[in-house]
Chains A and B, each alone.
Chain A
Amino acid sequence: MNAAPQPATLKTHGPRNRVPVVASLLVVALLAASVLVLRRVDRIRGEATLQEVLYLPSAKAVKRLSLGYTGLMADLYWTRAVQYFGGKHHARSKQYQLLEPLLDITTTLDPQLLVAYEFGSIFLAQQPPQGAGDPEAAVRLVERGIRNNPTAWRLYYHLGFIYFQEMKDPKRASEAFLKGSQVPGALPWMRTMAAALAQNAGEAETARYLWTNILNSTDDKSIQQNAIRRLEALRVDDEVMALQNVVDAYRQRTGTTPPNWRALIAAGYMRGIPVDPLNNPYVLREGRVEVANPDDLPFITKGLPPGQEPTLYLKKKPS
C-alpha cells in the first residue's frame, strides 16, 4: 500500500506557509481598526446616537411581542427606566422625556411590579435636576398602581408624599395617608401622618417624619443615602436657625456682633463649638451662621453663603 500524496496536508505545514499567522494578525488588526473607525463615525453622527428614541412606544405592542414572558420584559424595561433616569440625573439633565413612557410600559407589562410605581414616582416627581419635575405624571403612575394593587398600602404613602413634598398640598396628602391607613396591614404611622398633615404640623417636622420612614423601610442603598442626606439637611436647617437665634440674642443683649463662637461660649450662651452632621464646625461670619462646606451638604436651605443656591443633587461621596 503506497501512501497517497497529501497535498493539502503538505501545504499547511512547512516553514514557508505564513497564511495562518498573517490571517490571525489581520483579524486582530482589522477588528481594532474597525473600532477606531466606528468611533470616528460616532463622532460625526454626534447627537444622532444619543437621540431619545423608544422603538416601541406602545406598551400593548411590547406586551404582545413578549410572547407571554411579560415578567422578564418588565424587569428589562424597569432596568432601562432606572438606567435612563440615572444617566440623565448624572448629566444634570432637566429633561426626562422617556421616563414616563418607560414606566408606563414597565407597569403595563407587569402591573404588580411595585418598585416601579414606588421609585418611578419619586423619579418623576422631584424637581430637576433631582427628578423629572412632573408630579402630575407621578400621581397618575401611583394611582394606576393603586388600581392594579389595591392592597398595597405603601402606594398611598407615596401618593401622599408626592402631594405633600412636591405639590405642597397637605389636604390631599392627608387624604391619601388616611385612605392608605384603612388598607388592611397598613402600619399605624400612616394614620399619624394623616393626622399631622390635617393639623398643619410644621413642614420640617412632617418632612423629617416622612424621610425617617423612607430610611427605615427600604433596603436600597441609594434611596437610604438620599434619605440620610435629606435628614441631615433638615438637621442643619434646624441647627442654623437655633444658632442664629443665639447670635441674635447675644447681639440684642450686648449691642455687638459676636466675633466667634468662643465669645458666645465665654458669655455662657453655649458649651462648645457647634458642628454640622459632617463634623465640621459651623462658621460665624459677620453675625451670620453658615456651614463650612455647603457643597457637601445637599438640600440644605439655611446656612448657605449669601447668593449660593441650595444644591439639589447628591454628590457621589460626601467628604
Chain B
Amino acid sequence: MMHRIGAIAFNTFREAVRDRVLYNLVIFAILIVGSSLLVGQISIGVERLVLINLGLTAISLFGIVIAIFIGIQLVSKEIEKRTLYTVLAARPVRRWEFIVGKLLGLIGTLAVNAGLMAIGFFAALLYMTHRFQAADLHLLSALYLIVLQFVLITALALFFSTFTTPLMSAVFAFALFVIGTFAEDLRAFAVMAGGIGKYIATGLAYLVPNFAALNVISQVAHSVPVPGQLVFWNTVYVLVYAAAVTSAAVLIFERRNLK
C-alpha cells in the first residue's frame, strides 16, 4: 500500500516539475531582491522588515496559487487523458490510494518549492544584513506554518476537483482561502449575533479552514518568537482538517463513475 501511494506521489512530483512549476523561483528571486533594494531607497527604517514581509508573503502566496492551480488539475487531467482508468484498472491501485498519493506528491512539490524559495530568501537577507541573528530562527517557524497552509489548500483543491470542473474548483478553493483568513472575524461575529444566527455563525466559523492562525509573518518580521505550543497545535489542526477533507474527497471519488 505505502509503496503504491509513494509511486503515485513521486509521479505527481515529477509531473509538476516537468510542468515548469519551478519557474516561479526565478520570478521570486528577482521580485524579492529588486523590491527590497527599491523599498530600501524610498522608505525609512524598514529595509529588513520589508524583505521579511515581502519574502514570506511571496512564498506563501506563490505556493497557494500553485497549490490551487495544480491541485485542481490532478484528477481532471487524468480523467481527460484517460490515464486514470489505466492506472486504476490495470494496476492494483485503489481509488483512495490514488487520491492520497496525489495529495502527498503535490505537498512534496510545494515543500521543495518553498524550501528553494526560502534559500533565495535567506540569501537576500544575508546580502542585506551581512550576518544572521538569533531572531532569524523565528523565520523558520513562519516558513513551517506556511507549508502547513499549503497542506490545507492542497487538500481543499483536491477535494473540490473530485466532483466539479477545474475552474469551479479553483474558485471554491480560493474562496475558502479568503474566508479562512476571516475565520476569527466570523467567530467575533458569532459572539455578537443572537438566536439561531449565533449557532450558524459559530458552526461556520469552526467549519471553515482557519488560515488566520497560520500566518505569523508580521510577528516574526518584528523578531517576536512563535510559541512552540502554537506550532504544535497548528500542526495537529492542519493534519486533522486535511485528513477530514481528504476523507471527504475519497468518499466522493469512490462513488464517482469514471467510465
User: 0/1 per residue, B236-251, Cβ < 8 Å to A?
Assistant: 0000000000000000
Contact A75/B53 with A68-B212, A69-B215 known, Cβ cut-off 8 Å: yes
B230 CB–A CB distance under 8 Å: no
A10 proximal to B (CB < 8 A): no
| In the complex, number of A-B residue pairs with CB atoms less than 8 Å apart | 66
Bound-state Cα–Cα, A278 to B177, Å: 60
Interface size of B by CB at 8 A reads 27
Is A262 an interface residue when CB atoms closer than 8 A count as contact? no
* Secondary structure of the A contact surface, majority rule: helix
Please state if A74 and B44 are interface contacts (CB–CB under 8 Å).
no
Contacts of B222 in A (CB 8 A): 112-113
Q: Are A119 and B54 in contact (CB under 8 A)?
A: no
Interface residues of B in 216-253 (CB under 8 A from A): 217-218, 221-222, 224
Judge if A128 is at the interface, Cβ distance under 8 Å.
no
Q: Is the CB of B181 within 8 A of A115?
A: no
> How many angstroms from the CA of A112 to the CA of B221 in the assembled complex?
10
Interface residues of B in 11-59 (CB under 8 A from A): 39, 42-46, 49-50, 52-54, 57
CB neighbors of A among B42-86 (8 A): 42-46, 49-50, 52-54, 57, 60-61
Given A79-B42, A115-B46, check contact A74 B185 (CB 8 Å).
no
Q: Which of B44, B211, B212, B221 contacts A222 (CB 8 A)?
A: B44
The reply to whether B212 and A75 form a contact with Cβ atoms under 8 Å apart is: no
Taking residues whose C-beta sits less than 8 angstroms from the other chain, chain A's interface range is 20 to 34
B182 at the interface (CB under 8 A from A): yes
- Among A67-108, those with CB < 8 Å from B are 67-72, 74-75, 78-79, 82-83
Residues of A within 8 A of B (CB): 64, 67-72, 74-75, 78-79, 82-83, 110, 112-113, 115, 118-119, 220, 222-223
The 3 closest A-B pairs by CB, nearest first: A71-B218, A115-B45, A71-B53
Beyond A67-B181, A68-B215, A78-B46, 14 additional pairs, beta carbon < 8 A? A69-B61, A69-B215, A69-B217, A71-B52, A72-B50, A74-B218, A75-B43, A75-B49, A75-B54, A78-B44, A83-B42, A113-B46, A113-B49, A119-B45
